[in-house]
């Protein structure tokens, strides 16, 4: 039957309801600040957002959005190719290209549309894509739609990439290589220096999804490629406005003039309405702030190190290096759900991640920090974890 394939999900949701937990789609009833809200009746510290710089609640961004709604209305009601290109969209395209020091940019309505749209359009039947095996769903969706031959290389393994490039022979220099900057679930940074070196050796084109690394890494916040010093090797940088920029939308920037023609071939750009002017205006303001206030990034990393060190010293199984995403990796689904619920009751909201959203078969308590968190708030998160350890909910902790 058509619906049979959904039964396992229906059963899983029913089992959660029996335990009175709703980790997926937990409803935020109120936002009190960039780091606090009321979720499902609990006043909680928000430690499971991607609001890395806290800009979703910055008064300057809110004012920009309000002014733009006043001036332009609430929506564009059309595609960029029809009535949906406002001066605001063009201004943001110029500014984001300038931020990256390149000449070409496309602004999309979501990050998903940007990544999926670029991956599905750049390569087509007869072309080859080499993608990291732990790529985001938007990359998987895009490469599937592309019709290209898709080869996965082992997660963040440049040697495996090189081996597969070698096997391609002459086709390697036309291949599209896809990696991310910071991987969203475990917070690990891609080895972009080594990946760029493979591209230099075998040829091809490199697309980097900087969704979680823009505003977070690099001297001027351009992301992981800037931090690795390999921006000259990147052909296409894609990213989102929904994380460090605190709004919604996506972008692709490139030094290649061909991006202007590619724009008119991306269905995820053509057949969808453009972003509301208020969204674009707050994004422009956030971009300006990111460029002018590197102290936000410094505070973010102070908080990231603080949380990572704190959870690690409790003996929790966190990843190998500190990052604004700190994931506690668990093996048992039921225990992970109990921990998530106990953290909520202790006043801390984190993300519960289950396969296939998590890489491998593990279950994650995914914590993310913001520059807007105070040091005391980071201590509260650590204390909440100490509480679940004391309650025997994670047992026994395995340090990595």
Q: Is 47 exposed, middle or buried (0-12, 13-18, 19+ CB in 10 A)?
A: buried
**Which residues, including other chains, have CB under 8 Å from residue 318's CB and lie 6 or more apart?**
308, 311, 312, 326, 327, 328, 329, 400
Whose Cβ is closer to ligand PMP: residue 339's or residue 353's?
Answer: 353
Whose Cβ is closer to ligand PMP: residue 115's or residue 254's?
Answer: 115
Rg (CA), the chain: 21
Q: Is 303 in the site for ligand PMP (CB under 6 A)?
A: no
Q: Is 136 in the site for ligand PMP (CB under 6 A)?
A: yes
- Among 51, 56, 76, 138, indicate the residue that binds ligand PMP (CB under 6 A): 138
DSSP E strands in 172-315: the ranges are: 176-180, 205-209, 236-240, 250-254
Whose Cβ is closer to ligand PMP: residue 117's or residue 277's?
Answer: 117
- Among 123, 186, 211, 364, indicate the residue that binds ligand PMP (CB under 6 A): 211
Q: Is 70 exposed, middle or buried (0-12, 13-18, 19+ CB in 10 A)?
A: exposed
Q: Is 132 in the site for ligand PMP (CB under 6 A)?
A: no
Binding span for ligand PMP by CB under 6 A among 53-61, 209-217, 292-300, 323-331? 209-217
Q: Is 316 exposed, middle or buried (0-12, 13-18, 19+ CB in 10 A)?
A: buried
Binding span for ligand PMP by CB under 6 A among 38-46, 58-66, 105-113, 303-311? 105-113
Binding span for ligand PMP by CB under 6 A among 6-14, 110-118, 263-271, 279-287? 110-118
Q: Is 54 exposed, middle or buried (0-12, 13-18, 19+ CB in 10 A)?
A: buried
Q: Binders of ligand PMP: how many residues, by CB under 6 A?
A: 14
Quickly list DSSP for 323-375. -SEEEEEES-HHHHHHHHHHHHHTTEE-EEE-TTTSSTT-EEEEEE--TTS-H
Instruction: List binders of ligand PMP among 153-182 (CB under 6 A).
Output: 180
DSSP 149: E
**Taking the complex as a whole, how short is the minimal distance between the CB of residue 208 and ligand PMP, in angstroms?**
10
Instruction: List binders of ligand PMP among 319-338 (CB under 6 A).
Output: none
Binding span for ligand PMP by CB under 6 A among 107-115, 262-270, 277-285, 345-353? 107-115
User: Which token pair is 12?
Assistant: 């899983």
User: Which token pair is 118?
Assistant: 């670029």
Q: What angle do CA 243, 247, 252 make, to 5 degrees?
A: 70
**Taking the complex as a whole, how short is the minimal distance between the CB of residue 70 and ligand PMP, in angstroms?**
25
Binding span for ligand PMP by CB under 6 A among 187-195, 204-212, 225-233, 338-346? 204-212
Q: What angle do CA 395, 356, 228 make, to 5 degrees?
A: 90
Instruction: List binders of ligand PMP among 241-260 (CB under 6 A).
Output: 242, 250
**Rounded to 5 degrees, what are φ and ψ at 352?**
-95, 125
Whose Cβ is closer to ligand PMP: residue 80's or residue 212's?
Answer: 212
Q: Nearest Cα to 363, choosing from 388, 313, 390, 327? A: 327
Q: Is 49 in the site for ligand PMP (CB under 6 A)?
A: no
Q: Is 112 in the site for ligand PMP (CB under 6 A)?
A: yes
Interacting residue ranges for ligand PMP, rule: CB under 6 A: 110-112, 115, 136, 138, 180, 184, 209, 211-212, 240, 242, 250
């Amino acid at each position: 039957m058509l619906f049979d394939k959904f039964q396992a999900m229906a059963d899983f949701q029913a089992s959660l309801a029996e335990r009175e937990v709703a980790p997926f789609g937990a409803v935020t009833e109120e936002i009190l600040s960039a780091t606090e809200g009321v979720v499902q009746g609990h006043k909680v510290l928000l430690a499971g957002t991607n609001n890395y710089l806290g800009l979703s609640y910055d008064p300057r961004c809110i004012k920009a959005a309000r002014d733009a709604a006043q001036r332009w209305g609430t929506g564009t009601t059309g595609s960029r190719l029809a009535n949906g290109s406002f001066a605001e969209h063009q201004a943001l395209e110029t500014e984001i290209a300038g931020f990256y020091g390149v000449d070409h940019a496309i602004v999309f309505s979501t990050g998903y549309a940007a990544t999926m749209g670029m991956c599905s359009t750049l390569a087509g039947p007869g072309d080859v894509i080499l993608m990291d095996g732990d790529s985001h769903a938007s990359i998987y969706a895009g490469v599937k739609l592309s019709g290209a031959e898709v080869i996965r290389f082992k997660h963040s393994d440049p040697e495996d990439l090189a081996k597969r490039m070698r096997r391609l022979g002459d086709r390697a220099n036309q291949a599209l290589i896809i990696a991310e900057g910071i991987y969203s679930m475990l917070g690990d940074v891609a080895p972009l220096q080594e990946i760029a070196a493979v591209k230099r050796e075998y040829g091809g084109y490199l697309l980097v999804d900087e969704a979680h690394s823009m505003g977070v890494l690099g001297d001027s916040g351009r992301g992981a490629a800037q931090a690795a010093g390999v921006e000259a090797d990147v052909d296409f940088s894609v990213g989102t406005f929904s994380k460090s920029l605190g709004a919604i939308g996506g972008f692709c920037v490139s030094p290649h003039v061909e991006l202007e023609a590619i724009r008119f071939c991306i269905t995820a750009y053509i057949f969808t309405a453009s972003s509301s002017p208020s969204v674009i205006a707050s994004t422009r303001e956030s971009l300006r702030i990111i460029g002018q206030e590197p102290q936000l990034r410094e505070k973010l990393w102070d908080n990231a190190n603080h949380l990572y060190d704190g959870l690690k010293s409790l003996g929790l199984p966190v990843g190998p290096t500190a990052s604004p995403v700190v994931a506690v990796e668990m093996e048992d689904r039921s225990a992970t759900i109990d921990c998530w619920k106990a953290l909520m009751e202790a006043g801390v909201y984190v993300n519960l991640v289950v396969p296939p959203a998590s890489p491998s078969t593990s279950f994650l308590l995914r914590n993310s920090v913001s520059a807007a968190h105070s040091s005391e708030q980071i201590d509260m998160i650590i204390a909440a974890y100490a509480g679940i350890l004391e309650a025997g909910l994670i047992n026994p902790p395995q340090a990595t």
